């Protein structure tokens, strides 16, 4: 039930863009994106619901394609503060009554000057 994230790691120069993908073998109801810096707690970024909606704040946005059972996180004009490991957490459509999320293995993003 664990989603698969790609790429596993990416290095960017400040100002470059990146896309992180999250794919599941299960039908998804919602996708939750988090960023975790080393030694710290995961910080919530955004949640996407089925319906193909796209969300964003500042220069970070995401899309959710329920037919393909995948979500993508878009980081544009990256800043040094974007460095960290990005996790997607998924809630499956058949997961009635249970709120827990299944997390991917993470994508380590490093932004260099």
By CB under 8 A, residue 63 contacts other proteins = no
Q: Quote the least distance from Cβ 5 to other proteins, whole Å.
A: 8
By CB under 8 A, residue 19 contacts other proteins = no
By CB under 8 A, residue 81 contacts other proteins = no
State both tokens at 54. 């796209």
By CB under 8 A, residue 30 contacts other proteins = yes
Contact, 9 vs 64, CB < 8 A? no
Residues 6 or more apart in contact with residue 91 via CB below 8 angstroms: 28, 29, 30, 31, 32, 99, 101, 102
From 18, 34, 35, 69, residue interacting with other proteins (rule: CB under 8 A): 34
Distance CA 30, CA 52 (A): 10
Distance CA 82, CA 25 (A): 28
From 51, 67, 81, 97, residue interacting with other proteins (rule: CB under 8 A): 97
Which range, of 25-33, 51-59, 63-71, 75-83, touches other proteins by CB under 8 A? 25-33
Distance CA 33, CA 19 (A): 13
Binding site for other proteins (CB under 8 A): 2, 29-30, 32, 34, 40-44, 47, 49, 87, 89, 91, 95-106
């Amino acid at each position: 039930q664990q989603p698969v994230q790609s790429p596993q790691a990416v290095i960017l120069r400040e100002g470059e863009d990146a896309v992180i993908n999250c794919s599941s073998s299960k039908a998804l109801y919602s996708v939750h994106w988090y960023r975790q810096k080393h030694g710290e707690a995961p910080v919530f970024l955004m949640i996407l619901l089925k319906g193909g909606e796209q969300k964003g704040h500042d220069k970070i946005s995401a899309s959710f394609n329920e037919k393909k059972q995948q979500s993508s996180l878009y980081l544009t004009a990256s800043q040094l503060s974007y460095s960290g490991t990005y996790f997607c957490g998924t809630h499956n459509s058949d997961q009635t009554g249970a709120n827990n999320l299944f997390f991917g293995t993470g994508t380590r993003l490093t932004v260099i000057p």
